[in-house]
Structure 1
Amino acid sequence: MHNRIVTIVLLCGILFGVVVPASLFVQAANVSSAVDTRRAQLQSKLTSIESQINTSQATLNTLRTQHNTLQREINILDTEIRRAQLQVRATEIVVQQLSGTIASRTQTISDLTHTLSKEQESLAQIMRQTQMLDGYSAVDVAFSSKNVSTFFEDLDAFASIKRALGKSFNTLNATRTKTEVQKKALQDQLVQKQQLKQIQLLEQRQIQRNEYRKKVLLDKTKGKEGAYQSLINSQKKTAAQIRAELFTLRGSAPIPFGRALVYAQEAQRATGVRPAVILGVLKQETDLGQNLGTGNWRKDMSPNRDQPVFVYITKVLGLDPNVMPVSRRPSYGWGGAMGPGQFIPSTWVCYGGFINVHTGDCSNSQHSLSWNSFWKGPWKYVASKDRVRKLTGGQSPSNPWNDRDAFMATAMLMADNGAGAGTYYSERLAALRYFAGWTHARNPAYSFYGDGVMRYAAQFQKEIDQLNGS
């Protein structure tokens, strides 16, 4: 009887006797307060810099409406350099914010792992002691009790322990789930941090290009307006020259600008997105490709999400996956994007007519499968689901490496992102969504992409206007 009572007491201690020292709560509160203060300071700096970036953009918008003079061009370059420098600072602050969040999340994972270990240890002790209790029957308890009252108290204690055991299982599972969620979030943030570091390099290169352009301009004109106007006139192209000029495409051979414009205008009629913006996106993607290079699908493509789909896409198109060009994996995330529009295979399926055989769609809309199982397939091509083919009127499955299909698909994705509204804001935001997705599109660190697209779009619009006689 004495041993049984001791067992019950021990179990109660295991279940309910763990007390966290108050000093730990105080320490945690102090750390949390310091983190919150630092976060607020960084956010304040970021808000100030974003305001300056917006002011620089407004200045650029005004300058571009003015008459083309040497001073105007110098002011534009100076403002673009200033804005890019601010952008680098903004990106650095975002990186610092991420670093703080990563550190905090790492500590959370450590705490959860420790808690998980303790819960597993306690559960093991409960299991061992429960096995001892299971050796007693109600009759044993009744005869070993001094009175009826004690008998029912013992039965209640046993029942409580059984319930606590179930609760401990639930707590353990909940902690394990929380730990996995935190680990996944941490991995995503580490990838984002590496991506931002890469973006900083691109921004710094843009600063260097603008500084070089300014130097060359001043060297050629000696700061004289007359010399600048003569330079502009000498650089003007005829319509024939504009049409014949090669338009470089990522993952594809260059084509004459005239043909590129025809594809872009066809895409505009189908989607409502300006040809100059379509050309701007493809030009920006080409620039990124020059920085990253060409990769291999087995090494650079996401093995669970994109590789299985890529095999089906190339098989339907009758292509050898081992020779088709895809983007090289950057220092962050995965590569494997296809063709001039740089569509990853898992995005192309919804534009190119592929559906998962089990779910009957391209997006796992009902979440009936785990994502790994969904991407694994099997997949099949359905012509009626091929959105690109419908708009181009093609006679075969749409192909991300085909120039005409790539132009149409780029315009479609831009339209899905809101570019059809036709305003500067909507086109720039759509470009940012094209690059960073809807979740991160408003992150100031990615502004370089949207700004680059709109800068190229303005240049292409001038050439289009000249061809149209405007």
Structure 2
Amino acid sequence: MRKFYFAQNNRSISSVLEDEGSVRFLDTTDSLDHLRKQIIVTVNQVLNAKELQEQKKLELENLKKEKEKLLAEHKKTESDLLAQSVAVQTEIIKVDMSVAELNAKLSAVEGKLSALLGESFDTDDIVDAAKFASKKTGVRKSFILGMLVVETNLGRYTGGCTYKESKMGDANKKIFKRICKDLDYNYKKKKVSCPLSYGIGGAMGVAQFMPTTWTGYESKIEKYTGHSPADPWSLTDGVMAMAIKLKNDGAGKKSGEFDAARRYYCGGNIGRRVCVDYGKKVLYWAENYKARL
């Protein structure tokens, strides 16, 4: 029976395989199955591409929002900076106006002080006199100008008192009268420095020499300037007297300027605090005198 069954089934299978229509049917079925698989793969690719496209679109939207946010922040910052700049410019204008107003008031005050404190000199003439004295003595021009700033504010305040008001001693009075007589000045009206709270006045001209000190330099001043008699109220003679004294006290070299300045103010005892402070002020203005021109 088994042999008969297998024999019959084998003939059935063989007959199907040998049948041309059956073969074409099987071929078509395989093709459809392959096509179905390709369609599924293609659909999956399309779906993946669409998903990727949606993802990129979302990223672009986020980037657009971030850009808009940054632009808004930039505009706000730019606006804030512009407002700050305007505010600063406004403040600068206000400060400039205040400084100009203060300078005008200061000029008016200085004008009144000059009238009270004696003859003043043009700053260009001061610089020329310092150049001339420097050339003759070897003392630095800027150091001489630093001295003049401290002594008389570059010749602006040379003295506003008479010899009696100055409280100068008898020896200075005697020589003062002789100097005025030689120069044909009225000693009663000629102005000298006023007395300080801690001492006497009586210093003459831009260099602020006391009469007794001046006599020791007259001949050297006359030699350098050609003016005879030497005049302590002359800008050229006064600055020359200052330069000669500074040179004698060691200011021919820069290293000796500090001590020379202190001796100019204090004489021999230059270690006192007031003398040291004076010397420091002179050295400062020697480098910054142009601020006073």
Asked if Structure 1 and Structure 2 have the same fold, meaning a TM-score greater than 0.5 normalized by the shorter chain, the answer is yes
Give the conservation status (yes or no) of the 8 Å contact 2:207–2:241. yes
- 1:279 matched residue in structure 2: 145
The structural deviation recorded for 1:456 is 1.0
The structural deviation recorded for 1:288 is 11
For the residues of structure 1 that align with 2:285 and 2:169, how far apart are their CA atoms?
Answer: 34
Give the conservation status (yes or no) of the 8 Å contact 2:159–2:205. no
Alignment map for 1:227-246 (pairs within 5 Å): none
- 1:413 matched residue in structure 2: 245
- 1:432 matched residue in structure 2: 262
Give the conservation status (yes or no) of the 8 Å contact 2:119–2:157. no
Q: Report the AA paired with residue 416 of structure 1.
A: N
**Are 2:119 and 1:252 equivalent residues in the alignment?**
yes
TM-score by length of 1: 0.36
TM-score by length of 2: 0.56
Give the conservation status (yes or no) of the 8 Å contact 2:119–2:159. no
- 1:399 matched residue in structure 2: 231
CA deviations on 1:403-430 (whole Å, 9 max, x unpaired) are 111110110111111111122xx21211
Helix, strand or coil at the partner of 1:449: helix
Q: Report the AA paired with residue 152 of structure 2.
A: T
Which of 337, 340, 362 is matched with 2:203 structurally? Answer: 337
Give the conservation status (yes or no) of the 8 Å contact 2:249–2:260. yes
Give the conservation status (yes or no) of the 8 Å contact 1:251–1:340. no
Which of 422, 435, 450 is matched with 2:279 structurally? Answer: 450
The structural deviation recorded for 1:271 is 0.9
The structural deviation recorded for 1:304 is 2.0
Q: Report the AA paired with residue 348 of structure 1.
A: W
Give the conservation status (yes or no) of the 8 Å contact 2:251–2:257. yes
**Are 2:221 and 1:388 equivalent residues in the alignment?**
yes
For the residues of structure 2 that align with 1:310 and 1:343, how far apart are their CA atoms?
Answer: 11
For the residues of structure 1 that align with 2:214 and 2:251, how far apart are their CA atoms?
Answer: 19
CA deviations on 1:88-132 (whole Å, 9 max, x unpaired) are xxxxxxxxxxxxxxxxxxxxxxxxxxxxxxxxxxxxxxxxxxxxx
For the residues of structure 2 that align with 1:393 and 1:416, how far apart are their CA atoms?
Answer: 20
The structural deviation recorded for 1:342 is 0.4
- 1:316 matched residue in structure 2: 182
Give the conservation status (yes or no) of the 8 Å contact 1:301–1:307. no
* Long gaps (5+) in structure 2: 1-86, 97-113
Alignment map for 1:147-158 (pairs within 5 Å): none
Q: Based on CA coordinates, which of the two structures has the bigger radius of gyration?
A: 2
The structural deviation recorded for 1:349 is 0.7
Residue identity over aligned pairs, in percent, reads 33
- Kindly report the root-mean-square deviation, in angstroms, between the aligned alpha carbons of the 2 structures: 3.2
Helix, strand or coil at the partner of 1:417: helix
CA deviations on 1:268-312 (whole Å, 9 max, x unpaired) are 111111111111111111259989962220232433220011111
CA deviations on 1:122-166 (whole Å, 9 max, x unpaired) are xxxxxxxxxxxxxxxxxxxxxxxxxxxxxxxxxxxxxxxxxxxxx
- 1:90 matched residue in structure 2: none
Shift in alpha-carbon separation, 1:300–1:442, aligned structure 2, 3 A: same
Which of 422, 428, 445 is matched with 2:254 structurally? Answer: 422
Shift in alpha-carbon separation, 1:434–1:251, aligned structure 2, 3 A: farther
The structural deviation recorded for 1:329 is 1.1
Helix, strand or coil at the partner of 1:346: helix
The structural deviation recorded for 1:341 is 0.4
For the residues of structure 2 that align with 1:259 and 1:293, how far apart are their CA atoms?
Answer: 19
Give the conservation status (yes or no) of the 8 Å contact 1:282–1:340. yes
Shift in alpha-carbon separation, 1:332–1:290, aligned structure 2, 3 A: farther
Shift in alpha-carbon separation, 1:301–1:462, aligned structure 2, 3 A: closer
Alignment map for 1:215-226 (pairs within 5 Å): none
Give the conservation status (yes or no) of the 8 Å contact 2:149–2:289. no
